[in-house]
Chains A and B, each alone.
Chain A
Amino acid sequence: MKVIACYNIKGGVGKTASTVNLSYLAAREGFRTLVWDLDPQGASSFYFRIRSTVGQGAAGLVRDEFELDKVIKGTDYENLDLVPADFSYRNMDLFLDGEKKPKQRVEKLLKPLAERYDYVFLDCPPGISLLSENVFMAADVLLVPLIPTTLSLRTLDQLLQFCQQEGLNDFSVLPFFTMVDARKVLHRRIVEELPKRMPNVLTNHIPYSSEIEQMGLRRAPVNIFAGHSRPAQCYEDLWWEIKVRLEWL
């Protein structure tokens, strides 16, 4: 089982869109795939038409007898399951804080599923918190969607700095560009320049496109309703590149 976290300190950068599309592609290839929607807003649950719960999610997560298995839902796609978000995740830090090992809860909950799934995608809320530190502990890779703007680059640097401070380097950080607008000079320049100083950056990127915007209306991965569109192809290429990188781990 490989755990792939879609994460960025910054919000609205395409974490959820990428989680939904990449997890679907993994499942389509036959990999047994699980998405865990860790964002209390429940955006990826919404895309998969699965209602997020308004329950004791966060409190449940820290209870000893809690099993993730019990709350897994099948999506409409073969091999693709989802742990829906819970509204109480917004207070997650409060619950985690009382724990003995507050940073290892997510990892511990995933452990019993190691034989059942090939890939687990974590759709993370933005920001740095106890929850995101849990994600860093559990993940094999951090996929970091980046809009090619100067501000985005700053948050990426912040993230890398944070990881270094915390001594977190047993996962790989794989940034990739999203919402790239080829008409913008700045976008083009950053897409070209960043890989030169940061070789980890993935070479495939996702263009700004109306098909991705439509995912909210269609409530489905883009490959389902616009399989031949450019962004759908781009997500396929990106997924291929991620798999190749994962083999190197």
Chain B
Amino acid sequence: MSLNSYQYIMPRGVNAEGLAEILHGHGLRLELQPSVATEREFYDTFDWRLYAAGLVFFIDRSRDGTRLHLRALADGLDIVSVAAKEVPGFAHELPAGVLRDRLLPLAESRRLLGIASLKCSSRCFKVLDEENKTVARVLIERHGVVTGEGARRLGLGERLVVAPVRGYSEPLQQLRALFEHELGLVRLNGAALEEALAALGRHPLDYSSKLRVPLPAGVTAGEAARRLLAALLNAVESNEDGVRQDLDPEFLHDLRVAVRRTRALLGQMKEALPRSCAHYRQEFAWIGRSTGAVRDLDVQMLAFPAHAAALGPGGLGDLEPLREVMRAQRSRERCDLLETLAAPRYRRLKKDWRALLENGDAAVWVATDEARRPALESASAMIEHRYHKVFRAGVGLTPESADTDMHRLRMQCKKLRYLLEFFAPLFPRDDIKSLVRPLKALQDNLGEFQDLGVLLEALPGYAERLNGGERANRARVALGLLMERLRLRKELVRAEFAAVWARFAHQQHQNRFNRLFGSD
């Protein structure tokens, strides 16, 4: 078990020999170890899920072997440290154990990406007792950040580290008293991640799939729209690389969400926006269309293991040929998607759109009366209007209603949700939260219903492409069972709709909506 280590800024003008002298002078028995070079690479998901959960995850490579560490940010304490050859692409590929149990629920299907590398050379003094047992370690660590090409190193200075050994508190107290009180050294925290990132010009949490655009209180509708649209364009561009490299399905998902939010905003704020926006609305619709097929397959394939698991052990194995068909289909669709991302039309869209948002004539964003209205006012009006639309679409639905009616409600809900997210900063936080919660539950229900419908429609098509043979036959049998299950599940989800809707339509929520956004 590792213990909290204590880190300090190394005092100027003191080297290893000088430090040894000081420690000797305090009656400590020392053994100097040969210096060790360690390479440390930090990992997190693209959206910083580990860091956001207060964790730092890194791999240390040195002559003594390679170890993975999961460390708590708060106290610099290792939660787990295990020997391993490398960091796997995904948390689910880790061997069973504490590390996997901690990482998987956070990272889920997101890839673990290298975010920064450090080179560290350290010299270690073992502090020994009369049995020559190590009772504490004092290390001098020199860190350098590795910057991309050419592995240029940026020095981060030296730190002095006291690493205690469990059950030996006396030498620890002695060392701390020496460094903190006698020498007055400054304590440091963490695994040097923040320092490394700062040296690379990055900072943690620089991407989130949540839209977080601060809107000042008196902002006009036009200006609010411009800021939101600019943030959404950034989100599209941030995710492009991950989509191109196919790092994990969430990149495409986030890119598409940003595109959909853009379209929703362009559609709903038409009157407040520059005329040329109509053209961009069409262009973003084109991106939405050209990325849909891959996303549909991603959704189906992500849900697959869970569905197959319900068939019992062997279920997933039997269905493997079907997954192969889906994978093949996906890589064909991905070719089209990559073509779209490489197309001049796409590049032009982004360039012109950014020019309009950032450098263009500022006057076009406040050209109409609607644009000059306070954002608070027009947001309220839009949300109220959309809320009534959701209501009208949902209120008459019965278990017998057509799937297309459910779909219409789902689309209205999405638009309402986006509006609430866009303009949340203008309204009291707790109010927005308590309105979003039942809306989200409703969307989850409608979303699952929709996904099941899509999957049920698509599966027979994949089955047609199975070849002959024993394996394919087994897959067909398993598919029959699976479809049966999916149909049952779909009915169940539909049956749950009434309760979810009732919660959303509760008088209390209606009152809150009216109070917050009502025109009277």
On A, residues with C-beta under 8 Å from B are 28-30, 32, 48-51, 71-74, 76, 78-79, 81, 116, 118, 219
Contacts and interface: CB of A to CB of B under 8 A. Distances in A.
B264 interface: no
Interface string B57-85: 00000000001000000000000011110
Given A30-B84, A73-B166, A79-B1, 8 more contacts: A30-B81, A30-B83, A48-B133, A49-B132, A71-B167, A73-B165, A76-B133, A118-B97
Contact of A78 (B2, B131, B168): B2
A219 B67 CA distance: 26
B40 to A, nearest CB: 16
A204 B2 CA distance: 32
A74 B167 contact: yes
Instruction: Point out which of B3, B81, B166, B167 has the most chain A C-beta atoms below 10 A from its C-beta.
Output: B167
Nearest to A83: B167
Contacts of A49: 131-133
Contacts of A118: 97
B510 interface: no
A72 B167 contact: yes
Contacts of A50: 131, 133
A81 B168 CA distance: 12
A78 to B, nearest CB: 7
Nearest to B64: A78
Contacts of B209: none
Interface residues of B, number: 17
21 contacts: A29-B82, A29-B83, A30-B67, A30-B84, A32-B1, A49-B131, A49-B132, A49-B133, A50-B133, A51-B131, A71-B167, A72-B167, A73-B165, A73-B167, A74-B168, A76-B133, A78-B81, A79-B1, A79-B81, A81-B167, A219-B131
B134 interface: yes
Nearest to B67: A30
Instruction: Point out which of B2, B67, B81, B133 has the most chain A C-beta atoms below 10 A from its C-beta.
Output: B133
Interface in B22-55: none
Contact of B1 (A29, A51, A74): A74
Interface string B9-21: 0000000000000
A48 B97 CA distance: 27
A1 to B, nearest CB: 12
Contact of B134 (A28, A30, A72, A76): A76
A17 B165 CA distance: 23
A73 B3 CA distance: 12
A127 B167 CA distance: 30
Contact of B166 (A30, A51, A72, A219): A72
Instruction: Point out which of A32, A71, A74 has the most chain B C-beta atoms below 10 A from its C-beta.
Output: A74
B404 to A, nearest CB: 52
Contacts of A81: 1, 166-167
A221 to B, nearest CB: 14
Interface in B125-160: 131-134
**Do most interface residues of chain A lie in helix, strand or loop, or is the interface mixed?**
loop
Contacts of B2: 78
Interface in B156-197: 165-168
B136 to A, nearest CB: 10
B166 A116 contact: no
A28 B83 contact: yes
Contacts of B165: 73-74
Contacts of B84: 30
A147 to B, nearest CB: 30
B477 to A, nearest CB: 32
A76 to B, nearest CB: 5
A132 B84 CA distance: 37
A28 B83 CA distance: 7
A74 B84 CA distance: 22
A29 B95 CA distance: 12
Closest 7 CB pairs of A and B: A30-B82, A73-B167, A74-B166, A49-B133, A74-B165, A30-B83, A49-B131
Given A50-B133, A79-B81, A73 B168 contact: yes
Nearest to B167: A73
Contacts of A48: 133
Contacts of B133: 48-50, 76
A51 B168 CA distance: 12
Contacts of A78: 2, 81
A248 to B, nearest CB: 16
Nearest to B136: A74
Contacts of A74: 1, 3, 165-168
A199 B136 CA distance: 46
Contacts of A51: 131
Contacts of B81: 30, 78-79
Contacts of A71: 167
A136 to B, nearest CB: 27
A94 to B, nearest CB: 27
A51 B132 CA distance: 11
Contacts of B1: 32, 74, 79, 81, 116
Interface in B81-115: 81-84, 97
B82 to A, nearest CB: 3
A116 B1 CA distance: 8
A76 B131 CA distance: 12
A52 to B, nearest CB: 11
B497 to A, nearest CB: 42
A51 B167 CA distance: 12
A219 B131 CA distance: 10
A86 to B, nearest CB: 14
A59 B97 CA distance: 36
B172 to A, nearest CB: 11
Interface in B277-323: none
Nearest to A84: B167
A105 B84 CA distance: 36
A71 B67 CA distance: 27
A8 to B, nearest CB: 28
A74 B2 CA distance: 9
Contacts of A29: 82-83
